């Protein structure tokens, strides 16, 4: 229990430090996007390569991934049903809502959570692959059509994974792992050195991104916001536990991985998608911030109960 509390204390102290850096403008106006881009394009991919290249297939394609995928589809579908019946949202807004309820922050927060709590960031690789290869293209295709932009360009959708450095790094690391080749230490050392900075940098960037948000305001849309957060932060990890434990018979580290990855908050990419198509922007932004705050509690509870 002490190790769990210590691990999360480190994570949220770094997030708070990032918030204070942004609050007092220590890095100027472009500090947050600069750190985010550095972590996303350089540090986190290096960590994925160095970790996956020395991992094993049994640590990547597991029942934990299946439980995560099924719980994601379940909460996304549930939010679509609720938003359609109660709030009469159109298809584009339903898509953004489904993403807010089930598309997790596997990069900025998933990597450090996996490193500190699961002890192995390879658990995040299949989650990233599912979201980048399947969830993102499907959602963008629906948004293309629903917002009147015509038929989606399948070439553009197929190229999405090629524009995601985490996806590319995961593929490279898995390819090395499956090849059976043991890379010499001098080859992996630069990746390991850069990857060592990924966790603190992503947490600082996440904290900086929280400055200026007002997710607790009331008014129109508050109930829908909180419904998405409840589905993301409570219902999805609960479903992942039930599916993993009773459908796939998962126990120990695998069950913990399934529930922890499902309990991760809404990804910032959801806001990026909403802003790109001009639908549900404030809803998506608030869902990201609220679910990130709530995950500070739910992830600790999950790790304490299952860790």
What CATH number corresponds to the domain at position 221? 1.20.1530.20
Tokens of 7: 């691990």
Mean pLDDT score, 140-153: 76
For residue 66, how many other CB atoms are within 10 A of its CB? 18
Contact 233, 265 (CB under 8 A): yes
Tokens of 149: 């932009």
Residue 77: give the domain boundaries.
2-306
What 3 state SS string does 49-114 have?
A: HHHHCCCCHHHCCCHHHHHHHHHHHHHHHHHHHHHHHHCCCCHHHHHHHHHHHHCECCCCCHHHHH
First to last CA, the chain: 8
All residues at 6 or more sequence positions from 1 whose CB lies less than 8 Å from its CB, including other chains: 304, 307
Give the predicted TM-score (pTM) of the model: 0.81
pLDDT digits (tens, 9 = 90+) for 189-228: 999 999 889 888 878 887 887 776 666 666 666 888 899 9
Contact 226, 204 (CB under 8 A): no
Mutual orientation of helices 136-146 and 91-102 as an angle, nearest 10°?
A: 160
pLDDT digits (tens, 9 = 90+) for 45-77: 998 899 888 888 777 788 999 999 999 999 999
Whole-number mean pLDDT of the chain?
86
Tokens of 268: 């910032």
Number of domains in the chain: 1
Q: pLDDT band for 99, please (50, 70, 90 cuts).
A: very high
Tokens of 301: 């509870």
Q: What is the model's pLDDT at position 68?
A: 97
Residue 307 reports pLDDT greater than 80: no
Q: What is the model's pLDDT at position 187?
A: 92
Separation of alpha carbons 268 and 40, rounded Å: 12
Separation of alpha carbons 271 and 285, rounded Å: 5
Residue 260 reports pLDDT greater than 60: yes
Q: What is the model's pLDDT at position 192?
A: 92
Separation of alpha carbons 35 and 270, rounded Å: 19
Residue 81 reports pLDDT greater than 60: yes
- DSSP string covering 160-227, please? GGGG-HHHHHHHHHHHHHHHT----HHHHHHHHHHHTTHHHHHHHHHHHHTTT--TT--STTHHHHHH
Q: pLDDT band for 14, please (50, 70, 90 cuts).
A: confident
Q: pLDDT band for 152, please (50, 70, 90 cuts).
A: low
Instruction: Using alpha carbons only, give the angle 295, 106, 261 rounded to the nearest 5 degrees.
Output: 60
All residues at 6 or more sequence positions from 56 whose CB lies less than 8 Å from its CB, including other chains: 177
């Amino acid at each position: 229990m002490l190790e769990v509390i210590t691990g999360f204390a480190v994570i949220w102290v770094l997030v708070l430090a990032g918030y204070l850096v942004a609050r007092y403008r220590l890095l100027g106006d472009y500090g947050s996007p600069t750190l985010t881009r550095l972590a996303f394009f350089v540090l986190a991919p290096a960590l994925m390569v160095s970790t996956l290249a020395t991992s094993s297939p049994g640590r990547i394609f597991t029942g934990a991934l299946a439980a995560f995928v099924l719980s994601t589809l379940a909460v996304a579908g549930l939010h679509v049903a609720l938003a359609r019946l109660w709030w009469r949202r159109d298809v584009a807004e339903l898509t953004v809502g489904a993403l807010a309820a089930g598309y997790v922050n596997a990069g900025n927060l998933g990597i450090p959570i996996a490193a500190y709590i699961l002890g192995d960031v390879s658990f995040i690789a299949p989650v990233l692959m599912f979201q980048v290869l399947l969830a993102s293209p499907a959602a963008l295709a629906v948004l293309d059509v629903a917002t009147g932009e015509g038929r989606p360009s399948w070439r553009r959708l197929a190229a999405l994974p090629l524009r995601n450095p985490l996806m590319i790094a995961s593929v490279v690391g898995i390819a090395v792992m499956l090849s059976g080749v043991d890379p010499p230490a001098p080859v992996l050392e630069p990746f390991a050195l850069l990857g060592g900075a990924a966790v603190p940098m992503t947490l600082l960037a996440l904290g900086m991104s929280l400055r200026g948000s007002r997710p607790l305001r009331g008014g129109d849309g508050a109930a829908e916001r909180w419904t998405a957060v409840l589905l993301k932060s409570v219902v999805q990890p609960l479903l992942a536990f039930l599916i993993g434990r009773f459908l796939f018979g998962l126990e120990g580290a695998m069950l913990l991985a399934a529930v922890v990855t499902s309990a991760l908050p809404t990804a910032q990419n959801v806001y990026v998608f909403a802003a790109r198509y001009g639908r549900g922007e404030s809803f998506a932004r608030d869902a990201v911030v609220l679910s990130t705050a709530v995950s500070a509690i739910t992830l600790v509870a999950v790790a304490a109960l299952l860790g």
